[in-house]
């Protein structure tokens, strides 16, 4: 290795946290200037800010949570409400 060549990390290698900060600032700059960046860079910036979420898994978890919650369907009847229940609208 010659003295004027840089090592594998460059002159002053960045830590992982510093690399993430640089990526975030670049993505922020791309998102902040509408119309100036190519579409590939714009997609990269979108993924850097908000990585894609597995929406099917998130939806399934939300449905399972709501269906298993206490009180889900416990206070329901197809019977006609009594005439006296009009005075207590939240009580069935």
| pLDDT, tens digit (0-9, with 9 covering 90-100), for 50-77 | 777 888 999 999 998 888 776 655 666 7
Closest by Cα among 50, 49, 57, 1 to 26? 49
Taking the alpha carbons at both ends of the chain, their separation in whole angstroms is 83
Query: Which carries the bigger pLDDT value, residue 57 or residue 92?
Result: 57
Would you say residue 29 lies in a domain?
yes
Token pair listed for 75: 């206070």
Please tell me whether residue 55 adopts helix, strand or coil conformation: helix
User: Which range of residues forms the domain containing residue 20?
Assistant: 13-59
Would you say residue 64 lies in a domain?
no
Q: How many CB atoms lie within 10 A of CB 45?
A: 20
pTM over 0.75? The answer is no
Closest by Cα among 21, 13, 44, 19 to 31? 44
Total tally of structural domains belonging to the chain: 1
Would you say residue 43 lies in a domain?
yes
Q: pLDDT, tens digit, for every residue of 19-34? A: 888 889 998 888 887 7
């Amino acid at each position: 290795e010659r003295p004027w060549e840089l090592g594998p990390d460059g002159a002053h290698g960045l830590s992982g946290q510093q690399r993430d900060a640089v990526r975030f600032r670049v993505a922020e700059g791309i998102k902040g200037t509408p119309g100036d960046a190519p579409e590939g860079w714009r997609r990269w910036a979108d993924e850097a800010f908000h990585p894609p979420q597995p929406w099917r898994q998130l939806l399934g978890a939300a449905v399972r949570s709501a269906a298993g919650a206490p009180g889900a369907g416990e206070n329901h009847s197809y019977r006609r409400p009594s005439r006296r229940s009009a005075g207590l609208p939240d009580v069935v």
